[in-house]
Amino acid sequence: MHDPASWIAPNKLPAIQRAALAACDSLDGVKDGLVKDPRRCHFDPSTIQCQRSDAHDCVTAAQVDALKKIYSGPKNPRTGEMIFPGYVPGDEVALWNWPFWIIGLTSPKEAAQAQFGNALFGDMVFENPKWAFRTLDFDKDVALADQKIGPLLNSNDPNLKPFKANGGKLLQYHGWSDGAIAPLNSINYYEQVVAALSGSGTQKDRLSVLGDFYRLFMAPGVGHCGGSSGPDSFGNLTLSSRSQLHDPDHDVLKRSGTVGRKRQGSGENYCHEICGERSKKGDRYDAASLFLSADGAIQRLGR
Ligand SMILES: [Ca+2]
């Protein structure tokens, strides 16, 4: 964060994504450009470190260090405690992923994350609009933010008992390629809710408590709310218009068989293999596997 040489320009992203996919795409059994469960992906950026001079198809030592920090997420330097999860490898190139959110098109200060950071800490925590994100103390400043604005902004209380008792149900999805909110945080929250609601029961009992109350669906290759390289139209009302919502050509939930959609705006037809899993039906893919598989992956966490 302090070393200008650590900035990763967008022209490096194709080489990074290629290397990440080479390491992880096939882990789910299908080489399709999607990593179904990025938690199984242990991509080491040092495998593409430049051996000689800097070039667009390799990364420098400083950039390797930066990549490792982006993938692992910020930690408290004093306690080692995770502040927030890192981003997952395999879908770095898309404009609305890393270029827009994380690295910036021509400089790191253009990144939306930097601008959010400056606005939140500068305006709301320190009340100093000249504050710059590079000065952040990951120990004291984060604690101060939690103390000062956390009660207003934090949405991490896992006690959903009152909501559940009132008949509430929660359907949540998160794109694995989200460059804004690290997707692993949703899984962490889900597990915290499981613990808060189920007490000391067995893992099976604990999950059955949530069965018809809270479902979390992790969508491979989907960016922040939508977009990126995976199938992102599944009744989530983000990119689908209301007319498209009930159109099998645009909504995977309406398509039982080959999963396809038209890329919004371009009219280009293409198909994706949901979750990277081949269906037993051969070249046909079961849309439901997107959800059942993702949910099942979460359930496996505690076993
Ligand atoms: Ca795959």
Domain boundary among 110, 125, 153: 110
- Domain presence at residue 147: no
Asked, for residue 150, whether it belongs to a domain, the answer is no
Same domain, 104 and 168: no
In a domain, 129, yes or no: no
pTM: 0.81
Distance 250 CA to ligand 1 centre (A): 22
Query: What is the 106 CA–ligand 1 centroid distance (Å)?
Result: 31
Cα of 222 vs centre of ligand 1, distance in Å, is 14
In percent, the amount of the chain with pLDDT more than 90 equals 54
The answer to whether residues 286 and 174 belong to one domain is yes
pLDDT at 210 over 50: yes
Reported as a single tens digit per residue, the pLDDT across 19-74 is: 999 999 999 888 989 898 899 999 999 999 999 999 999 999 999 999 999 999 99
Q: What's the gap in Å between 253 CA and the centre of ligand 1?
A: 21
Instruction: Report the separation in Å between the CA atom of 266 and the middle of ligand 1, taken as the mean of its atom positions.
Output: 25
Considering 83, 110, 137, which residue would you say is the last residue of a domain? 110
Can you give the pLDDT at residue 282? 37
Q: Range of 221's domain?
A: 161-300
Label residue 121 by pLDDT band (50, 70, 90): very high
How many domains does one find in the chain?
A: 2
Report CA(104)–ligand 1 centroid distance (Å). 27
Report whether pLDDT(136) > 50: yes
Query: Do 190 and 270 reside in the same domain of the chain?
Result: yes
Span 262-283, mean pLDDT? 34
Q: How far away, in angstroms, is 22 Cα from ligand 1 center?
A: 10
What is the structure's pLDDT at 227? 81
* Residues 177, 236 within the same domain: yes
Q: Is the pLDDT of residue 286 over 90?
A: no
HEC profile for the chain? CCCHHHCCCHHHHHHHHHHHHHHHHHHHCCCCCCCCCHHHCCCCHHHHECCCCCCCCCECHHHHHHHHHHHHCCECCCCCCECCCCCCCCCCCCCCCHHHHHHCCCCHHHCHHHHHHHHHHHHHHCCCCCCCHHHCCCCHHHHHHHHHCHHHHCCCCCCCHHHHHCCCCEEEEEECCCCCCCCHHHHHHHHHHHHHHHCCCCHHHHHHHHCCCEEEEEECCCCCCCCCCCCCCCCCCCCCCHHHHCCCCCCHHHCCECCEEECCCCCCEEECCHHHCCCCCCCCECCHHHHHHHHHHHHHHHC
In a domain, 283, yes or no: yes
How far is ligand 1, taken at its centre, from the CA of residue 44, in Å?
18
Average pLDDT for the chain: 80
Q: How far is the CA of 51 from the centre of ligand 1 (A)?
A: 29
